[in-house]
Structure 1
């Protein structure tokens, strides 16, 4: 039986214990946490069997992946993950009424609406209970800003994921243990002929819908410190200080200056 390219990449990563090199990850996929890595055409993520959510998800947005037709949100458990390690649609019952949360995409559907695999963004491995005000306010504003950059012709790489720094709540109808994030990070990266620029953001679950995402910008180093991840593990060391230690790399492009 022939193995797929994705399977071979995952096997190679396990054998050599180095960063996973995937098309969705610029300068290697994040390292620092263990879990099942799922590589798909439009994103790569690492599932956490304890929290039941992805510790990180990486994706690559271009002008050709966006601006497709209106797509539906039909939620499904991830077929590549054991039932004991992920959630299923029924676990979200009454979540909005009790917690005020949406089923929030880590990899946004709108960034891949013009691809044939857009429905994979609706797998629950890519979803978390995200406060409606955050999901429909500054979070979606940042996602829209990323697509604006891609629409201009730039390839944009994004790494996103949860933070667990304080207790937010529990899904009222979930029948298995899980941990809802207290906030989220998103790192936006461009690489033009080796010239790397990045901007990182951290947003809390209790943010106001009217909040400006620009005010949440931090350094990549802060994201790494608070998550325990190495966001770009193969980034050359001589570039790290400029790219990861400073803010503002893509601020103007994202509409923040």
Structure 2
């Protein structure tokens, strides 16, 4: 009986993991950059990097049911599913704003999951990076708002987002772990209608100005992949990959870009 129960629990766990993966990722979760642990959660899937101490990518799906909840608090915590030396702790961000002018920037936005029971998972530091205040409070948040505005019209959107490391930006002044702060970020927004996938990709630098227009940062998924080493949609066929990943502006009008 005990063996049967263990097998049943194992099968159930695998089924739940598969379901979470399917819910968070479109055409498979990203692959590449095997430097850490993949964590699947109810509202997102992320791939942590044990060297940089930040997630290489985070994938999630925003729906009308996940957002528009009450205002939620920001209570930062280390990720309990990661070794302590593979992630940061709240004290590592002490004086970050005062010295290098960065915010604790969510990769998965809290506001996009404020109506879920697991909204607190967005405040785990595996989902946070030191993001320049001008970027975080400027074009980055306006893109996140554009995503929610389109979802609010009754659409489900898939998003893959993550950091880029193309030049030295800064160090957290009080961190006692080795870490690498991103020089910029990518965000890929995707919508599936039947067998059709439309996508828009964006790359923004930490040097972005607060008034910058996120629409001017659109690139192809191919460019994101070539600059990050990530395969964003690994389950696409060759023909689908060519069509979807080489194009730009796929969701531009839906996100408010002319």
Structure 2 gap ranges (5+): 1-5
Instruction: Tell me which residue corresponds to 1:129.
Output: 130
Does the C-alpha gap of structure 1 residues 91 and 149 become closer, same or farther in structure 2, counting only changes over 3 Å? Answer: same
Question: 1:6–1:40: 8 Å Cα contact kept in structure 2?
Answer: no
Shift of 1:246: 1.1
Instruction: Tell me which residue corresponds to 2:109.
Output: 108
Instruction: Tell me which residue corresponds to 1:192.
Output: 193
Question: 2:21–2:40: 8 Å Cα contact kept in structure 1?
Answer: no
Q: Deviations over 1:150-178 (max 9, x none)?
A: 11111100000000000000000000100
Structure 1 gap ranges (5+): 13-19
Name segments (4+ residues, structure 1) moved above 6 Å: none
RMSD: 1.5
Instruction: Tell me which residue corresponds to 1:166.
Output: 167
Instruction: Tell me which residue corresponds to 1:183.
Output: 184
TM-score by length of 2: 0.93
Question: 2:24–2:61: 8 Å Cα contact kept in structure 1?
Answer: yes
How far apart, in 1, do the equivalents of 2:65 and 2:191 lie?
A: 16
Does residue 144 of the first structure (1) align with residue 110 of the second (2)?
A: no
Instruction: Tell me which residue corresponds to 1:36.
Output: 37
Does the C-alpha gap of structure 1 residues 72 and 4 become closer, same or farther in structure 2, counting only changes over 3 Å? Answer: farther
Instruction: Tell me which residue corresponds to 2:3.
Output: none
Q: Deviations over 1:26-75 (max 9, x none)?
A: 00000111120000000000000000000000000001111100000000
Instruction: Tell me which residue corresponds to 1:157.
Output: 158
TM-score by length of 1: 0.94
How far apart, in 2, do the equivalents of 1:21 and 1:233 lie?
A: 13
Greater helix content? 2
Say how many residue pairs are matched.
Answer: 249
Question: 2:31–2:232: 8 Å Cα contact kept in structure 1?
Answer: yes
How far apart, in 2, do the equivalents of 1:247 and 1:234 lie?
A: 20
How far apart, in 1, do the equivalents of 2:190 and 2:12 lie?
A: 25
How far apart, in 2, do the equivalents of 1:221 and 1:144 lie?
A: 24
Instruction: Tell me which residue corresponds to 1:74.
Output: 75
How far apart, in 2, do the equivalents of 1:4 and 1:106 lie?
A: 31
How far apart, in 1, do the equivalents of 2:154 and 2:10 lie?
A: 34
Shift of 1:238: 1.5
How far apart, in 2, do the equivalents of 1:140 and 1:41 lie?
A: 23
Instruction: Tell me which residue corresponds to 2:25.
Output: 25
Question: 2:21–2:45: 8 Å Cα contact kept in structure 1?
Answer: no
How far apart, in 1, do the equivalents of 2:13 and 2:45 lie?
A: 10
Shift of 1:83: 0.2
How far apart, in 1, do the equivalents of 2:144 and 2:14 lie?
A: 29
How far apart, in 1, do the equivalents of 2:126 and 2:39 lie?
A: 9
